[in-house]
Structure 1
C-alpha cells in the first residue's frame, strides 16, 4: 500500500549543505594515505585514468539517482526507489545492503581517527591491551576512537543542520589542504618526475589491465553521493537543483582525486615515492606536500586536512545510515523503534544511537578487522547501486507519467550503462583472483549480514502482518500542486473557523438565519481554498423542530394538532427507568390525547418488529405515532407509522418494488444525541431473514413534530454516549465529503462538527455541562438534517452489514471502520478532508485518518472489527451485502470503490 503524509522532518539543508555532505563523504582520508598505492598500481597517468574511468561508471549510476531523487524526495532514497519499482522484498534487499555499506564506513572511520593521530604523534600509543589479526590495540588508541564516536553521534542527534555546519567547516579545510598541494606541486614540481611512472605495464594489455585495477577500487572512494537521497526529506532546495548538486558532487570528487594523484606524481620522483613508502611515514601525499613547500610543517597541515576528511565521511555516512534505517523502520521492515524522531531536534535518534554504539564498539576489533568489514560493505553498496539502476529502468516503464523534475535523456542507454557497470563491479567482487575479490573473512561478514537480514525479514513480517512493507510517501509542494494549494489555503481557512464554533442559544428553532450565516462562512472558506461550489442543487427539509432544555413538557401541546390517540413507541426499559416516558405520557394525557404503549423496539430494529407494531397501530385505531428513544427506536416508529397506512411486505417498499407517500403523523423525541433520525425522512431497518440492513425512504415519515430536549439525554451510559456521538460525527463528516454535498449541507456540517469535537469528549469524561449537552444534541440533529439531503458514504455503507450480521452497536462499528475508510478515500477531495483534519488539530488531508483515531481514543472508541466479533471468514458476506444493500452510498463516495477495495478495507479494519 502506498499513501502520503506530511513530513515530520525539518527542512534544514540548503544547496551548499547537500554539496558538502556528498563531497565530504567521498573525499575522506584515503587521498592522504593511498595515493602512493594508486600510483604503484597504475602509474600517475594510469591512476588518473583509472579514477576517471571509475568516475564515469559512478556518473552513470549517479544519473539514475539524479532522476529518482527529485521524483521521490522521501527519507530513505534507495528504499523508496526500489519499493516503487520492485515492491517490499526488493526494497528490503536494496536498503539492507546500503545500510551495511554506510555502517561499515562509520565503523572504519572510528578506527581511522586514532590511526591518523598516531601518524602525527608516534608516541601517542600508550597502554598496550591486546592484538587482533596482527594489529596492536592500545588504551590511548581506543579512548580517542570512542570519544570521537560519542561526539559524532551527539552532533547528529543534535540536528541535521548542526551536522551540516560541522561538515561545511571541515570540508573547507580539506579542500584548502588539497588546493595547497596542487598549487605547490605546479610551482615546485617537474615534468621529469613523470618519467618512468606515467603508466605501469610492459605492453598495452598490461597497462590497460592496471588502469582497470585502479578503476575497480574507485567505487569505494566515490560512495557518498547517495547520502543526498537518504536525506532528501530534509532538503529545502528546488527538486531539480538537488539532482544537479548530486551530479556536481561526483564530478568534484573525481576532479579532486585526479588532481591529487597528478600533484603527487608531479612533485615526487619514482624513487622519492618508493622511499616514502618503505622508510618514511607511508603518507606519500603528506611527503609530497612537504617537498612542494620545502618544509615538514606543510606535511602536518595536509595530515590535518586528512583528519578532517575522516570526520566528514564519518558524519555523512552517519546521516545516510540513520535515514536508511529510519525508512525501513517506518515500513515495519525492522523494529519501528528505529523510526522514532527526537521530539526537539527531529532526528532519528534511536537509529543514530545504534550506529553510534557500533562505532564505539568497532575499535575493539582492531583496524584489520574493520578493513574486512569495509570491503564487505563496498560489495553491498554496489549491489544497492545495481538495484537502483534497475529500479530506474522499471519505473520508466511502470510509472511513465510520474512527475520527474530532472528527467534523464536517453534513459535506455543510461540505464543499461548503470546496470552493466554496477553489475560488473558486483561480479568482480565475487570472482576469485580478480582485483576486487573478497577474501573468506569478508565473505563471512557478508554472510552474517545476509543472515541477520533474513531474520529481520521473516520476524517483522510475522509480527507486523500487513504493516510490513507499507510505504507512506511524503507529500511535496513542488510535485503535488493540490497539496501546495491546500497548505497555502490553510491559514486563511483557519481564520474563519473560530466563528463557526459560536454557541447556539439555549432554546432555539433551527431556521433560515442560522443556515444563512453558516453558508456565508463556509462559502468564503471554500472559495479561499479554490474549491468549486455546487452550481445546481436542491435543499428540502420540512421538519418542524423544537429544541431546548425542558421542551419535553411541551409534547402534548405540540402533538395535539396531529390527532387524539397516540401509540408511544419506545424500547424495553430505558425510557421508563429514566422517567422520560412518564413525562411524555403525562404531557400527552394532559393535552387530552389517549395513549398506548409499544415497547419492543430494539437496537438495529427489525422489519418483523415494525410489522408487529403496525398491526397494533391499525387494530387500535391510533392516529399518530410518538417515537421516544434513540435512533433505533425512532426508526422503528417511522416504520410502524408507514406500515400502519400501507399494505404488503415492508421489504418491497425498502427495495423500491412498491412506493407510497402516506404514513401516520409522527412525533419524534430523541433520548440519545446521535442518529438525527428526528430530522430526516428515512428509517434504517434490518431484515432478520437475511441480515440486510437498509433504509426505508419516504417523505411521509419525516416527523411532523420533533422535540429535542438535551435534558432527556443526560442519563445515557458513557459507552452508549460515545457510540451515538460518534455516529453524529460520521453523519456530519460523511455528508460534508459526499458527492451530493452542497453549500447548505456543507454549512450545517461545518457548524456541527466543532460542537461534537469540543463537547463529546467532556461529556464522556463526565465533566460536561448542560451547555455541552445542548451542543451535542443540536449537532446530532444537524447530522440528521444533512444526511437527509447529502446522504452518507462508504463508512456507513460498510458498517450496516457489520451490525446487520453481528448486531453490534452501530457507533462502534463506525469507529472500527472510519479511519481505514478515510485512509483510502481522502484523495477524492483533499480540500475538504484537509479542512476536516484542521478541525481536529491536523494540517492536511493526509492527517485526517490519524486525527479521527485520536478522537476515537479520547472518547474510548479505539476498536477494531476484530474486537466486535468480525473475522476473516465474514468478509465475503460483508462485501457482497454492502454492494447489494448500499450501492447508492458507495457511489456517493468521492473515490471510486469496488468490491475488491471494500474487502481489503474490511481486512485492514479487523
Structure 2
C-alpha cells in the first residue's frame, strides 16, 4: 500500500499533549457548576458521580489510546472510522466531531468577555441590541473579537506556539485549583460536609442523586480526543501517546473531584445556596471565604478564564486538523488541506474556524449555548463511532500493529460503545436533563445538510479522488524504545542471566559466485534469437501444456529463434511440481532430435524441468543420484530461460526442484552447469498471468528473499539484495495484483523475483521451503499456496532466532517489531486472497508424521539454515499449527 511522508513538523512533547488534553477538559465548568453538582448529589456523591463519569469516558479513552498509537495520523477519528467503516462512516464521524470542536471555539469567544463582567461589573459599555434575551454591548463584542483574532494568529504561528500558551495557562489553572484545595483544607470545617455528603434519605435516592451527577459529567471530559487529531505532530513514542491520553482523563477526574471536595469543605449548604442566588460562581465564593478576601475570588475567576483559553486553544487545534484530514481525502473542499509554508499549520482551516469565532459573538451567548449543546451531541456521536471502529478493527485487522494494546478488548469495546451510545441517547430522551431543544436540533440538522452538500459537491468535483486515503509513514522514533530504555533493559537482562558471555561481532568472511547473464527489460523477449544463437543451432523449446501458446509468447520466441537461423522443436508436457520422469522423457526427446540448446518459456516448474532436461541430455544415470550427490557432473546443454511468472526466480540460479513420483521426495538438483547462459526477463511476458497465479508466484518470490535474508548462511551481498527485493514486493505487489500499478509495478515485482532466485543460490532457503516441499510432493499442491499456509506459522516459531532481521522485514512491511512480522505476512496474504491453511489444501493430521520425516530427509539444508534449528518433533508440531 502506498504511503506518504507527513508534512507536519513533529513539535509536541509528552508534556505538550498532556496539557492540551487536560486543558481542553477542565475549561470553565469547575468555576460555575460546582455548587450545582453538590446540590444534585452532595459532596461525596458528586465526587463519586465524577468518578463514575470518568469511568465511562475512561473506556472510550482506552479505545482512542489503542487506535491513536496504531494509526498516528492527522485527523484521528477520520482515519479510525475510515479503516473500520469506510468513506461514509468516516465522513459522518469526522463531520460530527468538527461540529463539536467548532461549537466550543465559538462558545468560548462569547464566554470570555462574559466572565470579565464578574470581575469588572462596569465593563459593559455601548448597548447595541438583544439576541434571544442576551444583551450585546460594544465593549463585550470588541473583547470577544480581539481575543478570537489573537487565538487564531497564535495557532497559525505554529503548533509549538499554541502548546507554549497552553502550558502557561494550564499551570495557572492548576495553581489556582491547588490554592483552593489547600486553603479549604486549612480553613474548612468537617461540619460543612456532614449535612451535604449525599443527597437523599434512602439508599435508592442517594444512588439516584449520584447518577444524576454522573449523567452530566461525561460532557465535561470532552477534549482528550484532541490528541489523535494532532498525532502527526507528536514527537513521542507511540505506546506513550496512549498512556498519556489515559492519564489526562484520570488527571481531569481527580481535579474535578478535589475541587468539589474543596468547595464542600469550606462552604456550608446555606453558603452554597446564597452563592447560587447571587453571583452563581460558587467556586469563586469558596475561594474568597477560604482566604477571607474578596480579591481571591477574582484570582480564581482569572484561573477560570485561563480554562476558557485552554479549551479554546485545544479545540482550535483539533478542529483544524479534523478539517485538514477531510480535505486531504477530498471529502470537503481541497483548499482546507493547505499547510502554512513556514509554520506547517492548516492555515485555511484555522482561518475558517477563527473567522467563525470572530462572527459568533454577534449572535449572543444564548445562541451559542444552543450551538455548543449541538456540538456536544456531535462529539458523543463520534465517540460512539470510534468505539465501534475499535471493535471492528480488532476483528477486521487483527494483525495491525498496536503499540498500545488494550487487554480484554471485547469488554472494553462493548462498554465504550454502550457508554458513548448512552450519552447520545441522553440528548434525545425528553426529561433526561440533556435533551436538545428545538433550536439545537435545528442546528444539528443544518450542520448535517451542510455535510451532505459538501459530500455530494466534492464527489461530483473530485470524482474518483473523493474519499481517497493514503497512510502516513510511521517514523522510526515512534516505533522503537528510546536509548535509555533500551540500555536499561539490556543491563537488567545481563544482571538476570546466570551466564554472561562476551559477544563479539564476527569478522566478515564469505565467498560469492553466480555466473548468470541477465537481460532485463520490457520488449527484450524479441531478442531471444539473437541472444540464443551463440549457444547452438537447434533449440528444444520447453513449455507447459498451453499457457505460452495462448499468450502468444511461444510464437514470438519461435519466430525470433528461426529468424536468427535456429531450428526448433517443442516439448510441452511440463506441469506444476515437475516430475523426475518428465525430465527424463524430455531429455530423451532432446537427444532424439539432436538439440544443442534448451530454451524454456514459462514459470518455475517449466524452467526447473528445462534445467533437468539440459542436465540429463549430457549425463547418464538416475537423476536422483545427482540430486542426493551420489553422482556429480558439471555438464549440461546451454540454457536460455524466459520466465513468464514473477515468482520462482529459477532464471537467476542453478537449482531445479523436482518431485520423484515413486516416493514423493521433492528436492532440488543443484549445480552451476544449469545456471542459464542467458535469462531474458521481460516484464511484459508476466502481464498475462491470472491474478490467482500472480499471487502465488509473487509470494514465493517474497519467501525466497525473506528466507535468504534470515538464513544462517546469509552474507552481505545476499542481505543487501534481499532487503531491496522485499521492499519492492511489499510496496508494489498489492497494487500489481489489483491492477492499479502499471508497467512500473510489474517491472519492480519481476526484478524482485529474479533477485529472489539469485540470493537463494548463495544463501539457500530455510524452513518454509523445507517444510513446503514434502507437502506439495505428497499432495501436488500449488507451491505458493503451501508457502502461504506455512510461512506465518514458521516465522512465529523462528523470529527469536534473529530478532534484528525479522524486525527489519516487519518495518518494511508496515510493522514495528519482530513479533509483527508474521501478522504483516498474514495481512498481505489476505489482500492477495491467498490466506489458507494446510487443511484447506488437503493435508490431514495423519500426513504429518510422513511430512516431518520427509522434511528431515529432503530439506536437511533448509532445516539447518533456519534461524532456529528445530527437531523432527518440533517440525511436526509446526505442521499441526498450520493445519
Report TM bin, short chain. 0.5 to 0.7
Cα distance in 2 between the residues matched to 1:741 and 1:461 = 47
Shift in Å, 1:427: 1.1
Alignment-derived partner of residue 446 in structure 2:
448
Alignment of 1:497-508 (within 5 A): none
Q: Deviations over 1:722-774 (max 9, x none)?
A: xxxxxxxxxxxx99x99869999xxxxxxxxxxxxxxxxxxxxxxxxxxxxxx
Corresponding residue to 2:344 among 330, 346, 357 = 346
Is the 2:27–2:307 contact (alpha carbons within 8 Å) kept by the matching residues of 1?
yes
Alignment-derived partner of residue 168 in structure 2:
169
* Local SS of the residue matching 1:131: strand
Alignment-derived partner of residue 300 in structure 1:
298
Alignment-derived partner of residue 139 in structure 1:
138
Corresponding residue to 1:371 among 357, 369, 372 = 369
Q: 1:328 to 1:259 in 2, by over 3 A?
A: same
* Local SS of the residue matching 1:196: helix
Alignment-derived partner of residue 429 in structure 2:
431
Cα distance in 2 between the residues matched to 1:127 and 1:145 = 14
Q: Does 1:656 align with 2:654?
A: no
Q: Deviations over 1:392-444 (max 9, x none)?
A: 11111111121111111111111111111111111111111112111111111
Is the 1:645–1:663 contact (alpha carbons within 8 Å) kept by the matching residues of 2?
no
Alignment-derived partner of residue 465 in structure 2:
467
Cα distance in 2 between the residues matched to 1:351 and 1:474 = 20
Alignment-derived partner of residue 517 in structure 2:
540
Is the 2:8–2:344 contact (alpha carbons within 8 Å) kept by the matching residues of 1?
yes
Shift in Å, 1:788: 8.0
* Local SS of the residue matching 1:471: coil
Cα distance in 1 between the residues matched to 2:109 and 2:42 = 31
Corresponding residue to 1:337 among 322, 335, 338 = 335
Cα distance in 1 between the residues matched to 2:729 and 2:467 = 19
Shift in Å, 1:462: 2.8
Alignment-derived partner of residue 406 in structure 1:
404
Q: 1:204 to 1:439 in 2, by over 3 A?
A: farther
Cα distance in 2 between the residues matched to 1:328 and 1:300 = 42
Cα distance in 2 between the residues matched to 1:185 and 1:111 = 31
Is the 2:74–2:229 contact (alpha carbons within 8 Å) kept by the matching residues of 1?
yes
Alignment-derived partner of residue 681 in structure 2:
791
Q: 1:129 to 1:466 in 2, by over 3 A?
A: same
Alignment-derived partner of residue 153 in structure 1:
152
Q: Deviations over 1:54-98 (max 9, x none)?
A: 111111111111211111111111111111111111111111111
User: More deviation in 48-57 or 307-316?
Assistant: 48-57
Cα distance in 2 between the residues matched to 1:534 and 1:334 = 59
Shift in Å, 1:845: 8.5
Is the 2:124–2:137 contact (alpha carbons within 8 Å) kept by the matching residues of 1?
yes
Q: 1:536 to 1:354 in 2, by over 3 A?
A: farther
Is the 1:331–1:470 contact (alpha carbons within 8 Å) kept by the matching residues of 2?
yes
Shift in Å, 1:791: 2.6
* Local SS of the residue matching 2:427: helix
Alignment of 1:68-147 (within 5 A): 68-147=67-146
Q: 1:406 to 1:238 in 2, by over 3 A?
A: same
Alignment-derived partner of residue 313 in structure 2:
315
Which blocks of at least 5 consecutive residues in structure 2 are unaligned? 483-509, 540-547, 566-598, 600-642, 654-676, 691-700, 710-716, 757-783, 785-827, 834-883
Alignment-derived partner of residue 21 in structure 2:
22
Equivalent residues, number = 609
Q: 1:662 to 1:203 in 2, by over 3 A?
A: closer
Shift in Å, 1:153: 0.8
* Local SS of the residue matching 2:195: coil
Alignment-derived partner of residue 688 in structure 1:
none
Alignment of 1:466-545 (within 5 A): 466-477=464-475, 537-540=514-517
Shift in Å, 1:243: 1.1
Q: Does 1:274 align with 2:172?
A: no
Cα distance in 2 between the residues matched to 1:826 and 1:338 = 40
Cα distance in 2 between the residues matched to 1:652 and 1:191 = 93
* Local SS of the residue matching 2:90: helix
Alignment-derived partner of residue 227 in structure 2:
228
Cα distance in 2 between the residues matched to 1:296 and 1:887 = 75
Q: Deviations over 1:154-191 (max 9, x none)?
A: 11111111111110010000000000000010111111
Is the 1:103–1:318 contact (alpha carbons within 8 Å) kept by the matching residues of 2?
yes
Is the 1:738–1:791 contact (alpha carbons within 8 Å) kept by the matching residues of 2?
no
Q: 1:107 to 1:480 in 2, by over 3 A?
A: closer
Is the 1:3–1:472 contact (alpha carbons within 8 Å) kept by the matching residues of 2?
yes
Q: Deviations over 1:244-277 (max 9, x none)?
A: 1111100110111111111111111121112122
Q: 1:633 to 1:68 in 2, by over 3 A?
A: closer
Q: 1:87 to 1:645 in 2, by over 3 A?
A: same
Q: 1:422 to 1:827 in 2, by over 3 A?
A: farther
Cα distance in 2 between the residues matched to 1:341 and 1:176 = 35
Is the 2:531–2:678 contact (alpha carbons within 8 Å) kept by the matching residues of 1?
no
Shift in Å, 1:34: 1.5
Alignment-derived partner of residue 246 in structure 2:
247
Cα distance in 2 between the residues matched to 1:170 and 1:828 = 58
Is the 1:740–1:790 contact (alpha carbons within 8 Å) kept by the matching residues of 2?
no
Alignment of 1:742-891 (within 5 A): 789=679, 791-793=681-683
Is the 1:341–1:347 contact (alpha carbons within 8 Å) kept by the matching residues of 2?
yes
Is the 1:228–1:246 contact (alpha carbons within 8 Å) kept by the matching residues of 2?
yes
Shift in Å, 1:638: 11
* Local SS of the residue matching 2:196: coil
Shift in Å, 1:342: 1.3
Is the 2:530–2:564 contact (alpha carbons within 8 Å) kept by the matching residues of 1?
no
Q: 1:636 to 1:19 in 2, by over 3 A?
A: same
Shift in Å, 1:542: 10
Alignment-derived partner of residue 720 in structure 1:
none
* Local SS of the residue matching 1:31: helix
Q: 1:349 to 1:788 in 2, by over 3 A?
A: farther
Cα distance in 1 between the residues matched to 2:689 and 2:417 = 53
* Local SS of the residue matching 2:172: helix
Cα distance in 2 between the residues matched to 1:6 and 1:829 = 26
Q: 1:39 to 1:463 in 2, by over 3 A?
A: same
* Local SS of the residue matching 1:129: strand
Cα distance in 1 between the residues matched to 2:29 and 2:284 = 12
Cα distance in 1 between the residues matched to 2:550 and 2:254 = 82
Which blocks of at least 5 consecutive residues in structure 1 are unaligned? 485-532, 544-603, 605-629, 667-681, 683-733, 745-786, 802-824, 850-874, 903-910
Alignment-derived partner of residue 284 in structure 2:
286
Cα distance in 1 between the residues matched to 2:400 and 2:409 = 15
Is the 2:533–2:564 contact (alpha carbons within 8 Å) kept by the matching residues of 1?
no
Cα distance in 1 between the residues matched to 2:139 and 2:729 = 52
Is the 1:322–1:348 contact (alpha carbons within 8 Å) kept by the matching residues of 2?
yes
Cα distance in 2 between the residues matched to 1:321 and 1:827 = 45
Normalised by the size of structure 2, how large is the TM-score? 0.60
Cα distance in 2 between the residues matched to 1:828 and 1:135 = 74
Is the 1:534–1:742 contact (alpha carbons within 8 Å) kept by the matching residues of 2?
no
* Local SS of the residue matching 1:137: strand
Alignment-derived partner of residue 422 in structure 1:
420
Alignment-derived partner of residue 208 in structure 1:
207
Q: 1:300 to 1:72 in 2, by over 3 A?
A: same
Cα distance in 2 between the residues matched to 1:742 and 1:637 = 18
Cα distance in 2 between the residues matched to 1:3 and 1:48 = 49
Task: Give the CA RMSD over aligned residues.
Answer: 5.1
Cα distance in 1 between the residues matched to 2:109 and 2:705 = 51
Is the 2:529–2:564 contact (alpha carbons within 8 Å) kept by the matching residues of 1?
no
Q: 1:826 to 1:311 in 2, by over 3 A?
A: farther
Alignment-derived partner of residue 357 in structure 2:
359
Alignment-derived partner of residue 578 in structure 1:
none
Shift in Å, 1:447: 0.9
